[in-house]
Amino acid sequence: MLSPRIVSLAGGRSLVAGLAMVASLATVSAHGQSLAPEHEIRRLMLATEEAVSAERWGEASEYLNRLQKMETEKPADYFYYRGRAMLQAGHLNEARAALEAYVSRAGVDGKHYQQSLKLITDIEKENRANVRALANGNGEAKEPVAIIEPAGGQELKSLRQLYLADSDREALTIHLNALLETAGWRRDKTVVRLDRPADIRYRVSVANGNLNIQEITRNTDDTTVRKSVSLPVFGVNPQPRWDCEPAVGACWIYDPRDGSRLFQLAQSRNQVNEIALTLGRLIRNVQQGSSGS
């Protein structure tokens, strides 16, 4: 039978060995990797491929984030898997950028070339459906959509081509609603969640020579209140006035009829200026006649 002293020593050595192993593992974790960068990239790529194939998107995103932080050149497949993960998360523009990067690097011989082209086409269709839904007042942008800037100096023909619109008026309406969706006012200005609509947002439509403006306010209990106002455009100044107040973290576009506040928007002077310019162009278009051309 071992004496208590020997048992104590044996237990102490076992404890020390265990602590040494934990410390060793912690050291490896703290340094992020123990393999040379080229081997670590290969390991993480294999892990990413397996996670994507099994549709374990949270796990795939973790590996992709670790790959992104590595300064070593990534293989082309990294961009394909990043595109897949971004698409799954609903970040359409980032997904498209990653997939286009894959196509550019891998070329026609790439393993995922055909699939990437198909996904890029799907993203394009969904983005166009988003902005057209905004124009009709029955959709919400999942994320800031591709926008031609600045609209004030952009040929209307380009806007019509971008939005597949049948008229200048339709293109301007879609463009205005897309801009308004990205500039919605939020109470919490520190974190912007793309899956959560702004606290105050607007949609504009045109009917019978008027601009119909719907204000959608989201309360703190997630209930919504909708208010509508009709803005007759004939005889009003087609260049609305706007300004920003940093003290309250908001910008306003003013009603051209009486100078009252018409839109309450996020504090972004460039965005608000662009919205005011586009609104003015739409007003002028309606003032010029009912054809909508």
CB count, 10 Å around CB of 161?
A: 12
User: How sure is the predictor about 115, in pLDDT bands with cuts at 50, 70 and 90?
Assistant: very high
CB count, 10 Å around CB of 290?
A: 10
CATH 1.25.40 occupies which residues in the chain? 37-128
- Exposed / middle / buried, residue 5 (Cβ in 10 Å: 0-12, 13-18, 19+): exposed
**Over residues 253-277, mean pLDDT:** 91
Q: List helix spans (H) across the chain.
A: 4-31, 37-53, 57-69, 76-88, 92-106, 113-136, 156-163, 168-182, 269-287
Please check whether residue 163 is in contact with residue 174, taking contact to mean a CB–CB distance below 8 angstroms.
Answer: yes
Q: Which residues contact 219 (CB under 8 A, 6 or more apart)?
A: 225
Q: Which residues contact 147 (CB under 8 A, 6 or more apart)?
A: 175, 178, 179, 182
Q: With a cut of 90, say whether residue 267 has pLDDT above it.
A: no
| Whole-number pLDDT of residue 292 | 56
Model confidence over 175-210: pLDDT tens digits?
Answer: 898 888 888 898 876 655 555 788 999 999 999 889
Q: Which of 158-162, 191-195, 202-206, 252-256 has the lowest mean pLDDT?
A: 191-195
**Over residues 94-107, mean pLDDT:** 85
Q: With a cut of 70, say whether residue 5 has pLDDT above it.
A: no
User: How sure is the predictor about 280, in pLDDT bands with cuts at 50, 70 and 90?
Assistant: very high
Q: With a cut of 90, say whether residue 51 has pLDDT above it.
A: yes
| Whole-number pLDDT of residue 140 | 53
Higher pLDDT, 170 or 152: 170
Q: With a cut of 80, say whether residue 216 has pLDDT above it.
A: yes
Q: With a cut of 70, say whether residue 10 has pLDDT above it.
A: no
User: How sure is the predictor about 88, in pLDDT bands with cuts at 50, 70 and 90?
Assistant: confident
- Token pair for 188: 């919490």
Find, among 147, 187, 169, 162, the residue nearest to 270 by Cα. 147
| Whole-number pLDDT of residue 84 | 92
CATH 2.30.29 occupies which residues in the chain? 165-288
CATH topology of domain 37-128: 1.25.40
Please check whether residue 206 is in contact with residue 212, taking contact to mean a CB–CB distance below 8 angstroms.
Answer: yes
Higher pLDDT, 248 or 272: 272
Give the C-alpha distances (Å, rounded to integers) separating 142 from 85, 191, 216.
16, 16, 16
Please check whether residue 123 is in contact with residue 92, taking contact to mean a CB–CB distance below 8 angstroms.
Answer: yes
Q: How far apart are CA 152 and CA 154, in angstroms?
A: 6
| Whole-number pLDDT of residue 116 | 94
- May I ask the CATH class of domain 165-288? mainly beta
Q: With a cut of 80, say whether residue 14 has pLDDT above it.
A: no
Q: With a cut of 70, say whether residue 12 has pLDDT above it.
A: no
| Whole-number pLDDT of residue 251 | 93
User: How sure is the predictor about 6, in pLDDT bands with cuts at 50, 70 and 90?
Assistant: very low
User: How sure is the predictor about 47, in pLDDT bands with cuts at 50, 70 and 90?
Assistant: very high
Please check whether residue 83 is in contact with residue 95, taking contact to mean a CB–CB distance below 8 angstroms.
Answer: yes
Q: With a cut of 60, say whether residue 24 has pLDDT above it.
A: no
Strand partners, 191: none
Q: Which residues contact 212 (CB under 8 A, 6 or more apart)?
A: 204, 205, 206, 228, 229, 230, 231
Find, among 177, 222, 220, the residue nearest to 201 by Cα. 177
Strand 224-232 to strand 210-218: parallel, antiparallel, or no bridges (unpaired)? antiparallel
Torsion, CA 120, CA 131, CA 150, CA 217, rounded to 10: -130
pTM exceeds 0.75: no
Q: What string of H, E and C letters represents the secondary structure of 233-249?
A: CCCCCCCCCEEEECCCC
Q: How far apart are CA 30 and CA 34, in angstroms?
A: 10
**Over residues 33-46, mean pLDDT:** 86
